[in-house]
Chain A
Amino acid sequence: MEKSLNWYEFIITRSIKASGYSAILFVALIFFFLVREGVPTFFEADLASLFSLRWYPIEEYYGILPLITGSLMVTLGATLVAVPFGIGTAIYISEIAPRWMREILKPLVELLGGLPSVVLGFLGILVLSPFLREFLDLPTGLTAFTGSLLLGGIAVPTVVSVAEDALDAVPRAYREGAWALGATRWQTIWRVTFPAARSGVLTAIMLGVGRAIGETMTVMMVTGNAPVLALELGSLFSPVRTMTATIAAEMGEVAAGSTHYHVLFFIGMVLFLISLGVNIAASSVVFRAKKRAERILS
Chain B
Amino acid sequence: MKRFIPLAIATCILVFSTSCGLASSETASDSSAAYIENKGSDTIVNLALAWAERYQGEHPEARISVTGGGSGTGIAALINGTVDLANASRQIKAEEIDQAQANGVEPVEHIIARDAIAVIVHPDNPVSELTLKQISDIYSGKFSNWTEVGGEDRPIVRLSRETNSGTHVYFLETVVRLGSSEDKTLFSTDTLLLPSSEGIIAEVRQNPNAIGYDGLGYVPEDLKTIAIAEEEGGAYVLPSIPTVNDKTYPIARDLYMYTNGEPAGTVKEYLDWIFGSEAQEIVAELGFVPALPTTSSP
A-to-B contact residues, CB < 8 Å: 4, 8, 53-54, 56-59, 61, 66, 125-126, 129-130, 133, 139-142, 220-221, 224-228, 238-239, 241, 249-250, 252-255
Can you show 11 pairs from A to B with CB atoms below 8 A apart? A125-B199, A130-B207, A133-B207, A225-B192, A238-B190, A239-B190, A249-B195, A250-B163, A252-B69, A252-B73, A255-B99
Interface residues in B87-127 by Cβ distance below 8 A to A read 99
Beyond A221-B199, A253-B73, is A56–B186 a contact (Cβ under 8 Å)?
Answer: yes
Closest to B72 in A: A253
Docked complex Cα distance between A3 and B195 (Å)? 61
Contact string against A for B residues 186-207, beta-carbon threshold 8 Å, 1 for contact and 0 otherwise: 1101111111000100110011
CB <8 Å contact, A225 and B194: yes
CB contact between A250 and one of B76, B162, B199 (< 8 Å): that residue: B162
Interface residues in B155-193 by Cβ distance below 8 A to A read 155, 157, 162-164, 169, 184, 186-187, 189-193
CB <8 Å contact, B189 and A249: no
CB <8 Å contact, A226 and B2: no
CB <8 Å contact, A225 and B162: yes
Docked complex Cα distance between A126 and B157 (Å)? 17
Beyond A56-B187, A139-B155, A141-B207, is A239–B192 a contact (Cβ under 8 Å)?
Answer: yes
List residues of chain A with CB within 8 A of the CB of B210.
140
Count chain B residues whose beta carbon lies closer than 8 angstroms to a beta carbon of A. 32
B-to-A contact residues, CB < 8 Å: 1-2, 69-70, 72-73, 76, 99, 154-155, 157, 162-164, 169, 184, 186-187, 189-195, 199, 202-203, 206-207, 209-210
Closest to B165 in A: A253
Least CB distance from B123 to A in Å reads 15
Docked complex Cα distance between A247 and B152 (Å)? 37
List residues of chain A with CB within 8 A of the CB of B155.
139
Q: Which of A130, A238, A249 has the most CB of B within 10 A?
A: A249
Docked complex Cα distance between A220 and B192 (Å)? 11
